[in-house]
Amino acid sequence: MMLEIKLIPQNEFQRVRAAAVDPVDKLAVTADMCRANALATVKRAGSGHLGSSFSSLDIVTLLYFDEMNLVRQGVDSVDRDIYFSSKGHDVPGHYAVLYALGLIPEERFINLRRLGGTHGHPDLSVPGIEANSGSLGMGISKAKGMALAKTLKGAGGRVYVMTGDGELQEGQIWESLQTTVQQKIHNINVIVDHNKIQSDKQLDEIVSLGDLTAKFEAFGWYVERCDGHDFAAMKAALERFRTIDDRPKALIADTVKGQGVSFMEGPAALAKGQGLYQWHSGAPDDEAFEAGFAELVERTNGRLQDLGLEPLQLQLLERRETNRVRLKDTAEKVVTAYGEALVELGRERDDIIVMDADLSADCGLRPFETTFPDRFVESGIAEQDMVSMAGGLALHGFLPIVNSFGVFLASRGNEQIYNNATEKTKIIYACHYAGLIPAGPGKSHQSLRDISLFGALPNCIIIEPGNAEETRQALAWCVREADQNCMLRLIISPSPRTIPLPDDYRLTFGKGTVIREGTDAILFAYGPVMLNEALVAGDILESRNVSLKVVNLPWLNRVDSGWLDKTAGACEHLFVLDNHFSVGGLGDMLVDRAMASARLRGRRIIKFAVEDFPACGTPPEALRKHGLDGESLSRKILQAIDMA
């Protein structure tokens, strides 16, 4: 059987928009049409965030099609209203609205998370997007900057910013609430998408927010609360906002995560998932996609019929063979091995405390969470609080193992990590989602600064293991042998291949291991993604009569000088491949060590790394864009050897 992915084209939105029907009915139809298109693009991309896109889509549809002056005055008008999302996960829905208005061309819209298409999180390079998303909690601060800019320019227009409810756990949110009032910035409207479910659990199970209305009001905001799927109620609240000119405004919109597709909607999905929500991220399988898309189209056509309008005319985007039975994922995941090792070490030592920032499933922590619930600390989306709490635990004899995505943990909690380091206790930081890949979510999630941030600390050892077995050994070394802080870098996606290691391999401090023999040049690399590309480059070079030695060096800021000298031997062509920006990675460390080595001093070490802000796209697209795929590496190595 064949799966068909279809699109509702722009002319269908224009037809509905021009129809002489009740405005509220028109908004409801338009929102479901946008849901169908968001679902289609996420399915085609193979990943994306549907739950929060669907919960926020009625709000975003109301803003763009009814409330804001953006379309009437033109996108270049200084007096235009501005909307952006602080949480960013809901961007597939936002793109669908922008496409419906003709602001994003079709070719770009349908290529979500692909090079040259739309980014997995908001990015200014996409038409209609007003601000890049980043670590959660930034949005209100950025919005009040925009609002102040309007005031200073004497410009009209209002600023709207969407936040998630889980996002309100970030400390910067509460800083921005009090300073907005203190700074007398009143042309700002915050809308909370209060769907009450975080990445996979109910908000109240992570960190309850209590009485949100009272909290906002305590900071001096004017607050309204209504059903975020009731267009009439939202219109009335926003109309009242226009009459308030002495305070900033907040609308708490009670929504349903996954709204519009029955089996994705919060209560039903939680019941099916036994308390876990499965539609936060990722793409549905073929059966779920077909069922969800059909439900949206059928409801839309029913409404169109009731309004005396013709049914939708759909456009075929892609036809592919169906895979009704989901094949078991056989690719190795280092995060799975990490989670298993945590449980094993937890049984061995009762001083281990595992800490999480609302990413338990993604970080492989669920086995520890269920096995040792009393030693699992859920901090919610509050990395700074989590890191400082770890510091307190360490001062009183516990061994905290702190987990989050690397881009958030390393940078958001950097000052707190530094403070902990000055106390010379021992903490293990696990930076998940390390490096360039996967590149689909975009630069807000690609962690390419963490080695330099942790590497600046005098008492922190950084390791990125290359396969599952090395992951187990690396965590065990950090727990059992290290006398300093440790940072583990772990990729989140399945490994491109299982990186080969000797059967008797033992992780040894400061030393790596040769995984491909060669005599003409040496390439040092680490981690499953870049070691795979290094091996590919070796195979390509072999066909061109160049013998490349590939060395796995998991120690990113420590190296055994004797081992390095011996491994380099007499080879004149030394290369380093970093899954990081060019500054502060393994390449810089080896260059420094080579300058200090009598045997290596004077030899040129060429670094390959990410030299610009990371590209958004599929893994092959992103690697190729940055010249870090096997083919590109082989060309660069050949060129360097020929020029020598």
Mean pLDDT over residues 388-410, rounded?
Answer: 97
The tally of CA atoms less than 13 A away on the side-chain side of residue 572 is 5
Three-state DSSP state, 148: helix
Q: How far apart are CA 468 and CA 476, in angstroms?
A: 12
pLDDT at 439 over 80: yes
Structure tokens at 59: 């709000």
Q: Give me the pLDDT at residue 78, please.
A: 81
> pLDDT confidence of 76, banded at 50, 70, 90?
low
Q: How far apart are CA 79 and CA 578, in angstroms?
A: 45
pLDDT at 73 over 70: no
**C-beta separation of 360 from 366 below 8 A:** yes
Q: How far apart are CA 199 and CA 215, in angstroms?
A: 23
- Residue type at 509 in one-letter notation: F
- Residue type at 274 in one-letter notation: Q
Those residues with Cβ within 8 angstroms of residue 129's Cβ, 6 or more apart along the chain or in another chain = 84, 94, 98, 122, 123
pLDDT at 72 over 60: no
Query: What is the tens place of the pLDDT at every residue in 286-339?
Result: 999 999 999 999 999 999 999 999 999 999 999 988 864 444 455 799 999 999
As a whole number, the mean pLDDT across the chain is 94
**C-beta separation of 84 from 122 below 8 A:** yes
Mean pLDDT over residues 397-410, rounded?
Answer: 97
**C-beta separation of 16 from 300 below 8 A:** no
> pLDDT confidence of 206, banded at 50, 70, 90?
very high
Distances (CA, A) of 365 to 263, 356, 371, 381: 26, 8, 10, 16
Q: Give me the pLDDT at residue 325, please.
A: 45
pLDDT at 279 over 50: yes
pLDDT at 74 over 70: no
Which helix (DSSP H) or strand (DSSP E) does residue 59 occupy?
A: helix 51-62
Whether pTM > 0.75 for this model: the answer is: yes
pLDDT at 43 over 60: yes
The tally of CA atoms less than 13 A away on the side-chain side of residue 93 is 31
Query: What is the tens place of the pLDDT at every residue in 330-383?
Result: 579 999 999 999 999 999 999 999 999 999 999 999 999 999 999 999 999 999
Distances (CA, A) of 169 to 191, 208, 240, 341, 444: 15, 9, 28, 29, 19
pLDDT at 131 over 80: yes
The tally of CA atoms less than 13 A away on the side-chain side of residue 505 is 23
Torsion angle, alpha carbons of 255, 43, 528, 519, to 10: -150
Which helix (DSSP H) or strand (DSSP E) does residue 158 occupy?
A: none
Query: What is the tens place of the pLDDT at every residue in 574-593?
Result: 999 999 999 999 999 998 87
